[in-house]
Amino acid sequence: MGNLVGHDQTLGWWGTGWIFPSRVGVASSSPMKPPHTPLPKLRLCWVVVQSQALLQVGSSFSPMARQSSHTTSLRVQLPLLCFLLQAVILILFFIFVRYNHEVDSSLWHQGNHSDMDNEFYFRYPSFQDVHTMIFIGFGFLMTFLQRYGFSSIGFNFLLSAFSLQWSTLVQGFLHSFHGGKIHIGIESMINADFCTGAVLISFGAVLGKTSPVQLLLMSLLEVTLFGVNEFILLSLLGVKDAGGSMTIHTFGAYFGLVLSRVLYRSQLEKSKHREGSVYHSDLFAMIGTIFLWIFWPSFNSAPTNTGDGQHRTALNTYYSLGASTLSTFALSALLSREGKLDMVHIQNAVLAGGVVVGTSGEMMITPFGALAAGFLAGTISTLGYKFLMPILESKFKIQDTCGVHNLHGMPGVLGALVGALVAGLATHETYGDGLKNVFPLIADGHRSATSQAVYQLFGLLVTLVFASFGGGIGGLLLRLPCLGAPPDSQCYEDQIYWEVPLEHEDEVQRHLRIEDSETQA
């Protein structure tokens, strides 16, 4: 910057307190002369205007400008990928997707049905809650990063909009493909949101370290593998997992963790100062926590059989969440030398109670069992954030931004184990005629309770294998250098992908100037 000041051909005439830049960004061969302005106020205004123009010229030489190639690279890649993916989905929807009999007007009115017989009236309230969790709950939960709020909510929105469309096709081909067509209804929307939830969990593991192009490709692969894994567990193995402890939380967490390991950044210390939170960002993240906490009973109960099964799932989730919240607050204060609460624990570990009863929620785990499972889940989640998360990064090189291993991974595995235990204890005396709704294979005599428990455990193993394999393949794909990933020095930063307000931009450039001077020193 020192050799810019006073350079005639770049900035114009310099002298006696006057600054006259030529047209911004264009060199001038003839110096300008100051106008005759006898009034002091006019002279001051002229100085202010010309000083602002000089700042505009100087900003093109700022550290951020020198490193802006990562934003411009998305000008071609992101639109091209979005248009391509949407075009493929449009074509596939046109060829294969049709309304099911409860949505199609001619098919519905052929039968002697009343409007209240339509599944929509029973499922749509739950769908609304699940949809809110996906777009508001997960979106705001990730806004804890001090300078990554636009990306947290915006990329969450982008991934959700794509994943719900792609998962409708993948799950449709596997579950509702009849007569050469995919037939969709309200249950298709719920299942698509569930699949999207797994994608957003994986997103949390690599939050701040990936471009939107990388994330869309991750979603394309993960949704496909999610659908295959879910089909194997639910349709081929007969595993029970209504709330997704295995298919959603365990799969999404370990897919993201392996992905993060493959994408490991040895120089991420350059962006460590941005990885923390500030007061208002933690407050926004807590909004996401509250939305998720309130609607989690709907999430777990949405796909279950209406009646006692749905009622039981909501109740078990309700009490499990309460217990996990108390254990989280207790441990957070206990583990602090000053006896203070850690907002990271409160934002995340309180939700572990919802994760842990995803598999067993519709089973007869009893209210006591729901409380015990929730309390244990909150405990291991809080301990994971306090002790295990630093070890994963230092020893295993897994940079888990949101701590998805603590909120979704370990509680998901615990939930699968609880489900296997409760399945092994299922009897006709306990469930009565309702056994055919919860464990139809046991009720029909095709499988013993012990066998069902073994299948539940095998389903967990299959999920871990699919998630690890998918995360590894996805990581190799996302390492391609043409996908606009942020450099190590600009991770967790909105400005490289978004237009940001002026005050944020000034703060970013101040930090970059400090980093630049430290590097030169």
Report the pLDDT value the prediction gives residue 114, as an integer from 0 to 100.
83
Question: Tens digits of per-residue pLDDT, 121-132?
Answer: 999 999 999 999
The C-alpha atoms of residue 317 and residue 307 are separated, in whole angstroms, by 16
Report the pLDDT value the prediction gives residue 230, as an integer from 0 to 100.
98
Half-sphere exposure of 105 (CA within 13 A, CB side): 0
The C-alpha atoms of residue 100 and residue 90 are separated, in whole angstroms, by 18
The residue-averaged pLDDT of 452-474 equals 98
Q: Which of 114-128, 137-151, 239-253, 357-371 has the lowest mean pLDDT?
A: 114-128
Specify the DSSP class assigned to residue 36: -
Residue type for position 326:
L
Check if the beta carbon of residue 423 is closer than 8 Å to that of residue 439: yes
pLDDT band for 146, please (50, 70, 90 cuts): very high
Report the pLDDT value the prediction gives residue 509, as an integer from 0 to 100.
62
Q: Hey, what are 389's tokens?
A: 């998360």
Q: Which domains does the chain have, with CATH numbers?
A: 1-61 (no CATH), 81-109+124-489 (1.10.3430.10)
**Nearest residue to 487 (alpha-carbon basis) of 262, 326, 267:** 267
**Nearest residue to 303 (alpha-carbon basis) of 192, 200, 180, 424:** 192
For residue 9, what are the contacts with CB-CB under 8 A and spacing of at least 6? 27, 28, 29
pLDDT at 34 over 70: no
Report the pLDDT value the prediction gives residue 393, as an integer from 0 to 100.
95
Percentage of residues in the chain having pLDDT higher than 70: 82
The C-alpha atoms of residue 456 and residue 380 are separated, in whole angstroms, by 22
For residue 103, what are the contacts with CB-CB under 8 A and spacing of at least 6? 184, 185
pLDDT band for 511, please (50, 70, 90 cuts): low
What would the 3-class secondary structure string for 109-157 be? Answer: CCCCCCHHHCCHHHHHHHHHHHHHHHHHHHHHHHHHCCCCHHHHHHHHH
pTM for the whole structure: 0.85
The residue-averaged pLDDT of 316-337 equals 98
Q: Which of 11-25, 208-222, 316-330 has the lowest mean pLDDT?
A: 11-25
